[in-house]
């Protein structure tokens, strides 16, 4: 594309954005990231995923974003690199252990985890402090990781359903192991309360287990009409609105855009479903993300199928499978990327801000990271 | 504030001479006692170089040259030379006239200081004296900003000043060749920042202007003639055209004349796009932007006005501000830093009640927006610059030294160079490997090449034997014989001998013969001779056998070799 043509399209999108976004920040990292993880209300971690040396960075979000009353007087729009570290392997999964300055990573090549100390005020170095063994030697896709606030720092991890374990970080001891009949590769792990967690499998199964008991986990089978090569991703809504774990909802998204929402009280059934308007492309299992908005009702964000992040409102969905249109689409990465090799850019990760209802961070394969606060143009909905 | 002293090859250079804008007392000036405790600085400095016209880089220059005392050359680019005195005078007026300070430079001092300035052109080597040379490179950032390359003999330093690596609407990006300086000096704050894109900053500006206009408000944008005015005008003009907006946009007179004058003078310092535009038309000829008349400020309805001066400390922008401040629908957008003591500084600090002349108070009800458009490099940019220049060492200034280990490690790992981060007041010593050029005599060269073996690799060091003669300012390497001849000295040959005792009952001759046979079998490939004079020679090592006088069974072997042989056979 000619430079002026590209500039015009980009300008058009920016002009449009005056009405469609409250805040918009566009950054360029040196290397793309597949992970964005909150380490505090104002800091996130990102990391590279090349096959050799990579950086793990802890970035502080621009002050302007948080300066609510005095926003006009704050000119500070940039990310600050507060801590950084090096790793010799790709970082495919990164999880912060709440209540600590610790993060745990997995390189996607085996199920072992690396443990890091993010550092405090006196140093800007992120240091490797140890490792946690996975249950198998080598596994495709690597481990999923989950963590929640607890008195003793613990991490829940696994590459397959049979063998998910809860490990004590300081001692390395395994305090719980999930036992399932089959070893299904995982696409996600989520805590819905201190003790209850969900293991979402790529084949669409979801196991619901309680770390306090040794009883067999509940199994929610994959949604019907799920084909052989279809992959599934899951998210569970857990948070301040979810005091009773059984009222949590699970969203399952397939690689062809089919979405099913179920209730933890009735994990086999479906509360609602929809066919999402995702561009089908040969998508990498690693890139797709589906997430519930923590501070909005019934809103889901989907990314990884293209260069856009889509927000859907599931409140209008029914049990009948119907096409759903996104409430909002962030096309910033697609529009502002000038790819040299003709390979279209795709979004590698997104996260919601834990408290600000419509603020998200998204990252793409060209190294861009956007922070955006979208405007809900519809009368009803989120 | 920026003020760095570099000692290189016996020369002392001051890089920038900035004012610290946060202090009101003498702490705002650099501490020149590092150079000398008392007296003028002229004897201690070979030159002063100023990178650009921002006050944190040149604000203390008249103080240094006229109040502390320096009469040597001060180097800066042409645009910097033209713009510096204007900013310094404005700054002086605010500090002395408005704040009533006394230990400050005068207008005359600014003029006297500027008389010492020697202007620089880009990419032109300037000989400060017969050993020190400097060259300026384009830095982007602001009009006339330069990065400077300093060379003494074979040692060099590059100082970046402030720069940026992405071109914007009116300036290009910094550029430097692969000059491989011994040290590259840059700001550490860049390396720990990841900058929000220019477009997002512009978007914010347009959004704020548009929102004010939509609710019927008036927008005041105080600007400095050579600051962002031009750029923001282009932005608004494009936006107004696209959105088909009708509200009037004005710029105050004086702004356009000055701006046009300077841009014409320094057209080569702007980017391609501006140069093309300028050729076609006047810089400030816009469809939607018109000249302002002071009476327009009272017109009803929305409007946007660009007015000088930039910090609201006097003149037209202050007059307009006073008229519009009381209405909350209105807005003032400050596109840059404001010096302490100005109204701009006060409102940016949240002050909502201002004391004006005659003890009247002004209630600030309009919306105040602070926007930063200045172009700076960031983490990615600094790595790009290092890749361009290929320095041997990196020096980062103005960081929180304690906390920069990651950054240091990153640079050291990626480029395999040392990275230094001195705190204010700290001295860093960097050892360099200066290359010393030496002439070699043709004979010596031929002889060394004739030694045989594979052809020498020009990149690999090679041991050779010669004599270095230093005469006046030249160095040459000649063969020892030639050196002896030139110096008129006699050659002395040294031979070493050592004695080895053996128990052997045979006759001297037999023992010698046995030694000869033995050596012939173990030292293959070497010339071994049994000479008629009763010696064995291994190459040029001589072996003689004689019996001990006390005991005929004890044989004494004499081994003798010349000095030359040591390194071949040991």
* Residue position matching structure tokens 């100082």: B159
The strand pair at A54-60 and A43-47 is best described as antiparallel
Judge whether residue B265 has pLDDT over 80. Answer: no
Band the pLDDT of A259: cuts 50, 70, 90: very high
pLDDT in the model for residue B327: 95
pLDDT in the model for residue A382: 45
CA distance A378 to chain B (A): 20
Candidates B331, B372, B406: best to mutate against A (most CBs of A within 10 A) is B406
Kindly state the tokens that stand for B186: 């840059």
Judge whether residue A244 has pLDDT over 60. Answer: yes
- Least confident segment among A246-250, A296-300, B61-65: A246-250
Choose among A18, A28, A336: nearest Cβ to B210: A18
The whole-angstrom distance between residue A73's C-alpha and the CA centroid of its chain comes to 33
Q: Do B196 and A62 touch (CB under 8 A)?
A: yes
Band the pLDDT of B342: cuts 50, 70, 90: confident
Give B385-425 as a 3 state SS string: HHHHHCCCEEEEECCCHHHCHHHHHHHHHHHCCEEECCCCC
* Average pLDDT of the residues in B71-91: 92
| Contacts with B368 from chain A: Cβ below 8 Å | 72-73
Q: Which residue of A has its CA nearest to B334?
A: A73
Band the pLDDT of A64: cuts 50, 70, 90: confident
Judge whether residue B100 has pLDDT over 60. Answer: yes
pLDDT in the model for residue B570: 34
Band the pLDDT of A128: cuts 50, 70, 90: very high
Q: Do A84 and B407 touch (CB under 8 A)?
A: yes
Instruction: Summarize pLDDT for A67-97 with one digit per residue, the tens.
Output: 877 788 888 899 999 999 999 999 999 999 9
Degrees (nearest 5) of the Cα angle A339, A342, A346?
Answer: 65
Residue B552 carries which DSSP code? Answer: T
Among candidate residues B44, B19, B22, the one with its CA nearest the CA of residue B33: B44
Judge whether residue B182 has pLDDT over 90. Answer: yes
Kindly state the tokens that stand for B556: 């004494």
| Contacts with B243 from chain A: Cβ below 8 Å | 15
CA distance A312 to chain B (A): 25
CB contact A162 to B (< 8 Å)? no
Choose among B200, B378, B380: nearest Cβ to A24: B200
Among candidate residues B145, B185, B184, B150, the one with its CA nearest the CA of residue B162: B145
CA distance A75 to chain B (A): 5
Which helix (H) or strand (E) covers residue A129, if one does? strand A127-132
Q: Which residues of B are part of the catalytic machinery?
A: 187
Residues in CB range of B297: below 8 A, 6 or more apart: B305, B319, B320, B323, B324
The dihedrals phi and psi of A315, each to the nearest 5 degrees, come to -65, -25
Judge whether residue A275 has pLDDT over 70. Answer: yes
CA distance B140 to chain A (A): 19
Kindly state the tokens that stand for A21: 């976004």
The strand pair at A272-276 and A289-292 is best described as unpaired
Of the spans B28-37, B254-263, B400-409, which averages the highest pLDDT?
A: B28-37
Candidates A77, A117, A120: best to mutate against B (most CBs of B within 10 A) is A77
The dihedrals phi and psi of A5, each to the nearest 5 degrees, come to -65, -45
| Contacts with B210 from chain A: Cβ below 8 Å | 18
CB B351 within 8 A of CB B361: no
| Contacts with B199 from chain A: Cβ below 8 Å | 10, 14, 26, 336
Of the spans B28-32, B70-74, B380-384, B436-440, which averages the highest pLDDT?
A: B70-74
Instruction: Summarize pLDDT for B231-240 with one digit per residue, the tens.
Output: 888 889 889 9
Q: Do A30 and B239 touch (CB under 8 A)?
A: no
Q: How many helices (H) and strands (E) does chain A have?
A: 3, 29
* Average pLDDT of the residues in A51-62: 94
From CA B515, how far away is CA B545, in angstroms rounded?
Answer: 10
What percentage of residues in chain A have a pLDDT greater than 70? 90
* Average pLDDT of the residues in B43-55: 94
| Contacts with A72 from chain B: Cβ below 8 Å | 367-370
CA distance A70 to chain B (A): 8
CB contact A17 to B (< 8 Å)? yes
Give A40-72 as a 3 state SS string: CCCEEEEEECCCCCEEEEEEECCHHHHCCCCHH
More confident residue, B275 or B266: B266
The whole-angstrom distance between residue B97's C-alpha and the CA centroid of its chain comes to 36
From CA A30, how far away is CA A34, in angstroms rounded?
Answer: 13
Burial, A27: exposed, middle or buried (Cβ in 10 Å; 0-12, 13-18, 19+)? buried
* Average pLDDT of the residues in B97-116: 87
Q: Do A81 and B193 touch (CB under 8 A)?
A: yes
| Contacts with A81 from chain B: Cβ below 8 Å | 191-194, 379, 406-407
pLDDT in the model for residue B16: 96
pLDDT in the model for residue A138: 54
* Average pLDDT of the residues in A260-289: 80
Burial, B498: exposed, middle or buried (Cβ in 10 Å; 0-12, 13-18, 19+)? exposed
CB contact A25 to B (< 8 Å)? yes
CB contact A67 to B (< 8 Å)? no
Q: Do A27 and B207 touch (CB under 8 A)?
A: no
Candidates A67, A75, A370: best to mutate against B (most CBs of B within 10 A) is A75
Instruction: Summarize pLDDT for B546-555 with one digit per residue, the tens.
Output: 888 888 788 8
Q: Calculate the alpha carbon distances from A328 to A307, A342, B332, B436 in Å.
A: 14, 26, 32, 67
CA distance A304 to chain B (A): 23
The strand pair at B439-440 and B289-291 is best described as unpaired
Judge whether residue A321 has pLDDT over 80. Answer: yes
Judge whether residue B568 has pLDDT over 50. Answer: no
From CA A326, how far away is CA A276, in angstroms rounded?
Answer: 8
| Contacts with B380 from chain A: Cβ below 8 Å | 28-30
- Least confident segment among A253-257, B68-72, B446-450, B525-529: B446-450
């Amino acid at each position: 594309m000619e430079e002026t043509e590209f500039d015009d399209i980009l300008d058009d999108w920016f002009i449009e954005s005056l009405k469609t976004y409250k805040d918009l920040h566009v950054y360029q990292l040196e290397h793309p990231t597949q992970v964005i993880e909150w380490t505090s209300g104002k800091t996130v971690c990102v990391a590279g995923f090349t096959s050799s040396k990579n950086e793990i960075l802890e970035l502080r979000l621009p002050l302007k974003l948080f300066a609510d009353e005095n926003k006009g007087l704050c000119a500070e729009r940039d990310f600050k690199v507060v801590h950084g570290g090096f790793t010799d392997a790709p970082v495919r999964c990164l999880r912060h252990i709440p209540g600590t300055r610790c993060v745990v990573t997995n390189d996607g090549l085996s199920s072992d985890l690396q443990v890091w100390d993010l550092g405090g005020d006196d140093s800007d170095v992120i240091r490797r402090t140890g490792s946690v063994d996975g249950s198998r030697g080598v596994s495709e896709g690597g481990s999923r990781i989950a963590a929640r606030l607890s008195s003793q720092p613990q991490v829940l991890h696994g590459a397959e359903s049979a063998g998910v374990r809860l490990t004590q970080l300081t001692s390395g001891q395994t305090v719980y192991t999930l036992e399932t009949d089959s070893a299904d590769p995982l696409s996600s792990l989520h805590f819905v309360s201190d003790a209850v967690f969900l293991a979402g499998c790529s084949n669409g199964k979801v196991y619901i287990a309680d770390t306090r008991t040794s009883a067999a986990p509940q199994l929610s089978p994959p949604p019907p009409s799920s084909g052989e090569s279809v992959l599934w991703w899951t998210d569970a809504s857990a948070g301040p609105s979810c005091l009773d774990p059984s009222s949590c909802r699970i969203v399952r998204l397939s690689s062809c855009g089919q979405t099913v929402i179920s209730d933890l009280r009735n994990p086999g059934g479906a509360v609602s479903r929809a066919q999402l308007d995702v561009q089908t492309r040969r998508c990498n299992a690693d890139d797709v993300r589906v997430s519930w908005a923590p501070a909005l009702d019934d809103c889901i964000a989907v990314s990884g199928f293209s260069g856009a992040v889509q927000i859907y409102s599931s409140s209008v969905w029914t049990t009948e499978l119907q096409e759903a249109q996104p409430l909002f689409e962030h096309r910033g990465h697609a529009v502002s990327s000038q790819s040299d090799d003709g390979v279209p850019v795709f979004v590698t990760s997104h996260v919601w801000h834990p408290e600000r209802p419509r603020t998200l961070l998204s990252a793409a394969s060209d190294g861009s990271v956007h922070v955006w606060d979208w405007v809900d143009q519809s009368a009803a909905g989120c | 504030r920026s003020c760095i002293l570099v000692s290189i090859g016996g020369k002392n250079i001051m890089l920038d001479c900035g004012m610290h804008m946060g202090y009101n007392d003498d702490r705002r000036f650099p501490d020149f006692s590092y150079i000398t405790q008392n007296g003028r600085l002229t004897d201690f400095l070979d030159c002063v170089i100023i990178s650009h016209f921002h006050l944190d880089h040149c604000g203390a220059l008249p103080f240094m040259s006229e109040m502390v005392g320096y009469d040597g050359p001060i180097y800066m680019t042409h645009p910097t030379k033209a713009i510096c005195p204007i900013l310094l005078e404005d700054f002086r007026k605010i500090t002395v006239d408005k704040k009533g300070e006394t230990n400050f430079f005068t207008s005359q001092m600014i003029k006297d200081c500027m008389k010492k300035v020697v202007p620089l052109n880009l990419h032109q080597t300037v000989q400060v004296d017969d050993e020190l040379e400097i060259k300026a490179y384009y830095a982007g950032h602001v009009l006339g900003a330069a990065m400077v390359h300093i060379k003494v003999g074979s040692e060099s330093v590059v100082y970046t000043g402030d720069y940026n690596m992405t071109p914007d609407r009116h300036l290009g990006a910094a550029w430097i060749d692969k000059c491989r300086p011994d040290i590259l000096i840059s700001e550490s704050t860049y390396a720990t920042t990841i900058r929000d894109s220019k477009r997002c900053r512009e978007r914010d500006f347009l959004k704020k202007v548009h929102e004010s206009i939509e609710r019927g408000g008036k927008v005041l944008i105080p600007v400095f003639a050579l600051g962002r005015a031009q750029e923001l005008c282009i932005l608004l003009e494009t936006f107004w055209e696209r959105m088909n907006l009708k509200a009037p946009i004005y710029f105050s007179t004086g702004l356009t004349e000055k701006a046009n004058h300077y841009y014409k003078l320094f057209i080569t310092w702007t980017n391609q796009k501006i140069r093309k535009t300028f050729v076609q038309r006047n810089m400030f000829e816009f469809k939607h932007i018109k000249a302002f008349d002071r009476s327009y400020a009272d017109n009803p309805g929305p409007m946007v006005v660009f007015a000088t001066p930039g910090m609201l400390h006097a003149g037209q922008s202050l007059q307009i501000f006073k008229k519009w401040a009381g209405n909350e629908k209105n807005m003032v957008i400050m596109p840059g830093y404001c010096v302490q003591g100005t109204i701009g500084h006060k409102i940016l600090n949240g002050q909502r009640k201002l004391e004006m002349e005659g003890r009247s108070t002004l209630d600030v009800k309009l919306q105040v927006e602070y926007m930063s458009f200045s172009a700076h490099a960031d983490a990615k940019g600094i790595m790009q610059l290092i890749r361009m220049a290929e320095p041997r060492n990196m020096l980062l200034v103005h960081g929180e030294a304690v906390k920069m280990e990651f950054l240091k490690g990153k640079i050291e790992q990626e480029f395999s160079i040392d990275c230094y981060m001195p705190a204010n007041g700290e001295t860093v010593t960097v050892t360099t490997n200066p290359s010393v050029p030496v002439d070699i005599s043709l004979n010596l060269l031929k002889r060394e090449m004739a030694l045989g073996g594979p052809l020498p690799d020009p990149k690999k060091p090679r041991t050779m034997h010669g004599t270095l003669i230093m005469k006046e300012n030249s160095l040459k390497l000649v063969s020892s014989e030639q050196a002896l001849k030139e110096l008129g000295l006699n050659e002395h040959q040294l031979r070493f001998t050592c004695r080895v005792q053996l128990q052997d009952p045979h006759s001297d001759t037999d023992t010698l013969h046995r030694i000869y046979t033995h050596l012939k079998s173990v030292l293959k490939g070497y010339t071994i001779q049994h000479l008629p004079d009763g010696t064995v020679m291994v190459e040029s090592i001589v072996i003689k056998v004689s019996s001990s006088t006390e005991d005929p069974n004890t044989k004494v072997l004499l081994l003798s070799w010349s000095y030359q042989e040591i390194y071949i056979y040991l």
